[in-house]
Amino acid sequence: MTKEAIQSRVDLGELLPLMEEFYTIQGEGYHKGTAAYFIRVGGCDVGCHWCDVKESWDAAIHPPTEAVTIADNAAKYSDTIVVTGGEPLMWDMKPLTTLLKERGLQVHIETSGAYDLSGDWDWICLSPKKRMLPKDEVSQKAHELKVIVYNKSDFAFAEEQAAKVSENCILYLQPEWSVRDKMVPLIVDYVMANPKWKISLQTHKYLNIP
């Protein structure tokens, strides 16, 4: 394929810049503790300074991979697939999610919501970022809202974002990993005072699994 042909198939979502795939336990949020196959798609320009997967940002270093190959492979591992990144919504997720649904899989996304919603999802985890706010459609359709708490100002940001999600959306505060010792006590107090929120921890990091 020529460079142009590859690019046009990436633009259609038929090829995706695949960074890594792994079978593990969902560590965070509502489905924490559940076995799931993770598909990590490269490319993100949101620029969170504390991002724990900065190697994902440059899409150009991740090989354009056939969505059908990704789906066929994922189906061998698990009934539950988590598409993450990078920022998966930078790409058209319709082809990949259609292929995953055709294989009878539950399809979840981890997203900042900074790009238009594409794809068919059984579960949308929205983790909004101040630097690039989520699109309204993602906020309205999110099943869980997972706000990362790096400093005290993130509690006010969390409330702003909670005002934009549906009333059934489950609300989580998750400590930024590097400041967890400092922020966990503040989150605990906040959740006790504001019990509509729950705490989410990155349990995979405590378990030393991917």
Ligand X SMILES: Nc1nc2[nH]cc(C(=O)O)c2c(=O)[nH]1
Full strand arrangement of the beta sheet holding 106-111? 64-66, 15-25, 35-41, 80-85, 106-111, 123-126, 144-149, 170-175, 197-199
Choices 30-38, 79-87, 156-164, 180-188 (CB under 6 A): range interacting with ligand SF4 = 79-87
Task: State which of residues 177, 184, 186, 204 lies at the interface with ligand SAM (CB under 6 A).
Answer: 177
Binder of ligand SAM out of 176, 183, 187, 201 (CB under 6 A): 176
Nearer to ligand SF4, 129 or 164 (CB): 129
50 is in an annotated binding site: yes
Q: Does 27 bind ligand X (CB under 6 A)?
A: yes
Closest CA to 200 of 49, 34, 32, 51: 32
Q: Evaluate the CA torsion angle 34, 86, 143, 66 in order and state its sign.
A: negative
Look at residue 27 and give the partner it binds from ligand SF4, ligand X, ligand SAM, none, a contact being a CB closer than 5 to 8 Å depending on partner kind. ligand X
Q: Which stretch binds ligand SAM (CB under 6 A): 1-9, 98-106, 115-123, 169-177?
A: 169-177
CB 177, min distance to ligand X, A: 11
Closest by CA position to 97, among listed 74, 129, 128, 63: 74
Return the structure tokens found at 209: 């699994």
- Rounded distance between C-alpha atoms, residue 68 and residue 46, angstroms: 27
Q: Would you count residue 26 as binding ligand X (CB under 6 A)?
A: yes
Nearer to ligand SF4, 47 or 63 (CB): 47
| AA identity, residue 14 | E
Instruction: From the list ligand X, ligand SAM, ligand SF4, none, pick the one residue 200 interacts with, judged by a Cβ distance below 5 to 8 Å according to partner type.
Output: none
Q: Is 180 helix (H, G, I), strand (E, B) or coil?
A: helix
Picked from ligand X, ligand SAM, ligand SF4, none, the partner binding residue 191 (CB below 5 to 8 A depending on kind) is none
